[in-house]
Amino acid sequence: MTDIRYLEDLKSFKIDVAHISYVMGIVDKEGFLGHAYFGKHIADDDVSYLMRVFEPPFTPERNERDRLSFYDCFPFEYPTHGIGDFRESAVRIETGSGNYANSLTFKSHRIYDGKEGIQGLPATWGNAADTKTLEITLEDREAGIEAILYYSVFEGIDAVVRHTKIVNKSGKTVYLTKAASASLDMDNRDFDKITLFGSWARERHINRTAVNYGIQGMCSRRGEPGHQEHAFTCLMEKNAGQNNGEVYGIDLVYSGNFRTLTERSQFDQVRLMTGIDPEDFRWELKDGASFETPEAVLVFSAEGLGGMSRTFHDLYREHLIRGYYRDKKRPILINNWEATYFDFNAEKLVNIADCASKLGIEMLVLDDGWFGNRFDDNRALGDWYVNEKKLEGGLKKLAEEVNRRGMKLGLWFEPEMISPDSDLYRAHPDWAVHVQGRRPGLARNQMVLDFTREDVTDYVYSLIKKVLESANIEYVKWDMNRPLSDIGSACLPAERMGEFHHRYVMGVYKLQERLVTDFPKLLLENCSGGGARFDAGMLYYGPQIWCSDDTDAVERLEIQEGTALIYPLSAMGAHVSDCPNHAVGRTTPFETRGHVALSGTFGYELDVTRISEEDRKLIPHQVELYHRFNDLVRTGDYYRIASFSENHAFDCWESVAKDGSEALVTCVNVRKTANVKSRRIKLFGLQENASYRLLNEDGSDFVQTMSEEGKTLYFHGSTLMNAGINIPDTWGDFRSRLIHVKQA
């Protein structure tokens, strides 16, 4: 039962939802708001002793002489800057006098059913029947500043969603130079932390390290989250693993510069904080104006990393992703990029569609090179009109030919970019992000359009809309192939240039909101040079994101494992590509490539007319597997059974129906181990007393023990979960198999 209460006699707030509790208290006559508890559900209301206000140095009310000692150890719910808490602050405000000191204390609160949105930003959503929200208003009376802390919870989901609004009531202009979305103070319990790191083609690899003294964290200053770091962090007990131990996860619903940090103090306290990166951030707040931060999602799990992941998955599937495809199976697509690169014409594309349609593929996606003078990646970005030298008859004719074969047509755009060699740049060089008088740095020979400007976004959107209305386009892949640099805008005055990065991201959001509003049945897939914008903010606009430009089945094991720590499998763009793989040169079996891609959106990234007949014949079977199992993969609970990133030999995961009636187990044997007959795995999420049959993907019995020939074996869920099954280790390198666990 979801419940939020203010306990007047205790001066505390208690949030209870599903299996967790979150408790805060107001202490001292000044009204400091402190964090008392976040974790497994507790029955008692009064846990104020956890804030240690009854121990030295005591509160200022009882011990004014040691006020700074109090500030430096009190577990502030939203810590401020410059008053004596020398740990990382959540907010910093530059006043007209040039000082930064702020002290926020309790003013009022409000509790209500449902949840309000955040102006200009993506956010989780809910209704009055399944969502409750708490607002706590803190104030700095001397500075005339208010901070409204928002806490929302959803029925049945072990998460607390937070963000903050800073309001200027000072009577004069101030500048906000830091505004975290959420801060969480806890006692250290010999925590480890997990962060995600990577680079192009190897995004979101898991990195587990101890929480050390001082500040450790992840950040991006690229104008996007980037391939390199991710806003997600989790803290976990030393003995915690996939299915045991206590874990705290935090993720940011944002697609721009971020900073997520962990700080371990001299008193062995841990502060976990996330929000917009304060580097180069300076936001003008005139009198009466306010600033709302992006949303942060805090998850607690007493069932290890797996419990945390399943909570994130449920929350994002049920309360973040929107639109026509939110609860629908996505069409199986084939993208022409690795098949043709820039070398294509209408005839070539129709040939691919003709062959693909006969194999059961449902959509052709036309990638880069269909517009302007785009014959290579050195020109024409921004010129969003059809190149009829390549596509005789235009997109309308191509769409008709593709539709005639029973397939949908999708299209690639890179709306945020401009090439110096383009009609658009020649007409509007000031629309490119640059510092006046300084030679800008290029990446992929392209620059970035100034999306802080409404005239720029309006123009770009008018071109995109015209293209989409010209033909039956049912899918858009929105790409972004370089980070932001040389930050300068012709329309922002010098004193407000620190607003650029955040305003840029809001420009992206505004344009995508227009897109999905005007074309409500459009399937939008976000992408940024692969996985540089795989974040919760993007999922608010499109239900899936391209996971990585590296489609190698072995590399994808670590990429998809790290991604699935937070994001549902239904969000992960995953394709079968040709071999040798275009990113790493590795050759893996076509069957294995299919099995790995089935745990994502599923599609193809190859020239289906040129692959071997042996591989081509496997496609109808893979298509059938997708239709048979996608509902289970898309809506089921995800369990990690074995991790190649840890054991360097074998990978295994499971998707289980919510009612435990069936499961799909995917096993990938990356490296054959000498003289090992089998590996034993234990399944999860089944009904203990139910009887199950184990099937191969062709429907035959999966036999892993010596038994009478022709005998069908049945197992109770308790046996499969506690004793396990044996997986033969005789297939060879890069071999895989699916096991369908079906209730008898």
Q: H helices of 428-488, where? A: 454-470
- Provide the residue count of the chain: 744
Q: How far apart are CA 645 and CA 649, in angstroms?
A: 8
Q: How far apart are CA 632 and CA 638, in angstroms?
A: 10
- Strands in 352-395 per DSSP E: 363-366
Structure tokens given for 285: 């707040």
For 296-335, the DSSP string reads: EEEEEESBHHHHHHHHHHHHHHHHT--STTTTSPPPPEEE
Q: Is the peptide bond before 580 cis (omega within 30 degrees of 0)?
A: yes
Amino acid at 85: D
Q: H helices of 335-422, where? A: 337-340, 346-359, 394-404
* Residue 479 is a catalytic residue: yes
Contact status, residue 733 vs residue 672, Cβ threshold 8 Å:
yes
Amino acid at 664: L
List residues bridging with 133 in a β-sheet.
Answer: 112, 152
Instruction: Kindly report the backbone phi and psi dihedral angles of residue 561, in degrees, each rounded to the nearest multiple of 5, phi listed first.
Output: -65, -45
Amino acid at 83: I
Q: How far apart are CA 572 and CA 556, in angstroms?
A: 11
Structure tokens given for 353: 């569609």
Out of 85, 251, 479, 552, pick the active-site residue. Answer: 479
With tokens 């999922």, the residue in question is 539
Contact status, residue 544 vs residue 601, Cβ threshold 8 Å:
yes
**Segment 146-153 long-range contacts (CB within 8 Å, at least 24 positions apart):** 146/107, 147/78, 147/91, 147/104, 149/33, 149/77, 149/78, 151/4, 151/15, 151/22, 152/115, 152/124, 152/126, 153/2, 153/4, 153/15, 153/17
Residue 596, classed as helix, strand or coil, is: helix
β-pairing, 603-605 vs 576-577, is parallel
β-pairing, 20-27 vs 12-17, is antiparallel
* Residue 455 is a catalytic residue: no
What does DSSP assign to residue 446?
A: B
Structure tokens given for 735: 């071999």
What does DSSP assign to residue 713?
A: P
Contact status, residue 620 vs residue 359, Cβ threshold 8 Å:
yes
**H helix and E strand count, the chain:** 15, 39
Structure tokens given for 302: 């007493």
With tokens 């540089």, the residue in question is 532
Out of 450, 549, 637, 729, pick the active-site residue. Answer: 549
Instruction: Kindly report the backbone phi and psi dihedral angles of residue 61, in degrees, each rounded to the nearest multiple of 5, phi listed first.
Output: -60, -35
Structure tokens given for 389: 């030298």
Q: Residues 46, 51, 55, 61: what is their CA dihedral angle, to the nearest 10 degrees? A: -90
With tokens 């003294």, the residue in question is 213
Structure tokens given for 449: 């359009």
Q: 474 CB contacts (<8 Å, ≥6 apart)?
A: 331, 363, 408, 409, 410, 521, 522, 523
Q: 706 CB contacts (<8 Å, ≥6 apart)?
A: none
Amino acid at 596: V
Residue 439, classed as helix, strand or coil, is: coil
Structure tokens given for 550: 């590296």
Q: How far apart are CA 620 and CA 638, in angstroms?
A: 26
Listed residue (308, 407, 316, 332) closest to 600, CA to CA: 332
Q: Which residues are catalytic?
A: 479, 549
